[in-house]
Amino acid sequence: MIKSLKKRITKISCIGAGYVGGPTMAVIADQCPHIKVVVLDINEQRIKAWNSDNYDKLPVFEPGLKEIVLRSRGKNLFFSTEINNNIADSDIVFLSVNTPTKLSGVGSGHASDLRWIEKCARQVALASSGHTIVVEKSTLPVRTAQTIKTILGSSSNKKKSFSVISNPEFLAEGSAIKDLQNPDRVLIGGEDPVSIEQVADIYRHWIDDKKIIRTNLWSSELSKLTANAFLAQRISSINSVAAICEETGANINEVSLAIGSDTRIGNKFIKSGPGFGGSCFKKDLLNLIYLCKYFGLKEVANYWLSVVSLNSWNQNRISEIVVNKLFGTLAEKKIVILGFAFKANTNDTRESSAITISKNLLIEGAKLKIHDPKVSSDQIKAEFNLIDNKSNYQNIYKEDINNGSWEKIDNIYDAFIDADAAIVLTEWEEYSSLDWEKISKLMRKPSWVFDTRSIVNNNIISKTDINLWRIGIGPN
């Protein structure tokens, strides 16, 4: 299967124009002007959006992305639905498609659904010519490379050959461009040293070779899952401590500062909040749990399952706190949701804590006024209509969330008119500088603000008649 001879890379294609494929290829094109980079997707509307003259309407929002696309698009960066033609003359094909958790069948609720990866591998096997390096960019279960290799190796055309490389992304949404331009490390796993170095050559245009780690395929795939599992574990751990702080009078921000000052621990991912979200953490944890169960490691599986369970518990407890503070019922009460993206500086809503918390409030009969500077009404609608059969909602039908109602509000202060409470769920900078004196005059009394992100200034809000609840901080 491997017949590689090192040659100059002149063209790269990437199947998948989403949150990973788009920004990653844009940065590669920006840093390697001699390489033609084509981002491919079957979604015509998404490709149309990437090619739009309105750079503020790119399908992915990341600080700095617009400027890079503006510099490179039409020069050596292209977005296209012509998949087969572009694969045919590409030296390297990145696979960067969605790998959601399976909702039915073997491994349901834990294993990744690899149908799109399999489809891409078959398409590459059919459309490629000569020798092609196929790079796993999506987060994949360990040994997925073997599946890709088997599919590619089934080609009856002896003039074709392939090398499979694992090059997982380690991007934090909201800082993806910075992470791509100055990463902690670049991980390249494979069996063919020549192909590994050809992929490394691309990154060496702007990244020190000391940051490029070479491994075998399986170590690379497992490293990605494990990195996200460790980060998710820290978030669940600090949120469990936040609950203790609320009961004991300790301050979670002070506790985080104290333990984060320990160089053995460090200060990253120990900030309390509503819970982890995004496309990777939960999915990768469930993937790791499935892998452990498959190999009979029950206790290890249960350990990582507790991280997922605690995250769900934290989201549900926030909903319960809101209900309890508002006299045990939300029927006909207006609640302002400040932020629907899973974190600031992204328009990604996948696995956002706001979804679970908002659904809980809708089931209670609340009227939600949802504000987010980057998330569209269509995105919110889609998230409310997609019920994960393996989540806490497995016995709750869609109709139950219709006990309440919701609408997207663009003017943030309009959302507060006659509102009973507001919940800060995303740490957008504009939420930390709201005029709470003005807001207090708009809200119905008694009014509450629930700050799950520790961005509301207590000294300012204490001068109003608004009641404030802060995560990880008990009553004064």
Query: With helix as H, strand as E and coil as C, how does 267-331 read?
Result: CCCCCCCCCCCCCCHHHHHHHHHHHHHHCCCHHHHHHHHHHHHHHHHHHHHHHHHHHHHCCCCCC
d(CA 404, CA 364): 7
CA-CA distances (angstroms) from residue 68 to 56, 228, 341, 401, 430? Answer: 13, 27, 23, 41, 25
Contact, 344 vs 426, CB < 8 A?
Answer: yes
CA-CA distances (angstroms) from residue 364 to 111, 329, 443? Answer: 32, 7, 20
Which residue is associated with the tokens 């930390």? 432
Q: Which amino acid is at 405?
A: S
Q: Which residues lie below 8 Å from residue 300, measured CB to CB, with a gap of 6+?
A: 292
**Known catalytic residue: 169?**
yes
Listed residue (150, 208, 162, 200) closest to 183, CA to CA: 208
Establish whether the linkage from the previous residue to 446 is cis, with ω within 30° of 0.
yes
d(CA 36, CA 76): 5
Q: Which amino acid is at 38?
A: V
Burial class (CB in 10 A: 0-12, 13-18, 19+), 154: exposed
Out of 32, 120, 245, 280, pick the active-site residue: 280
CA–chain centroid gap for 420, Å, is: 31
d(CA 314, CA 309): 9
Out of 36, 137, 149, 224, pick the active-site residue: 224
**Known catalytic residue: 178?**
no
Q: Which residues lie below 8 Å from residue 332, measured CB to CB, with a gap of 6+?
A: 365, 367
User: Which residues are 473's β-sheet partners?
Assistant: 251, 470
The pairing of beta strand 186-190 with beta strand 161-166: antiparallel
Local structure of 161: helix, strand or coil: strand
**Known catalytic residue: 280?**
yes
Neighbours of 44 (CB within 10 A): 9
Catalytic positions, please?
A: 169, 224, 280
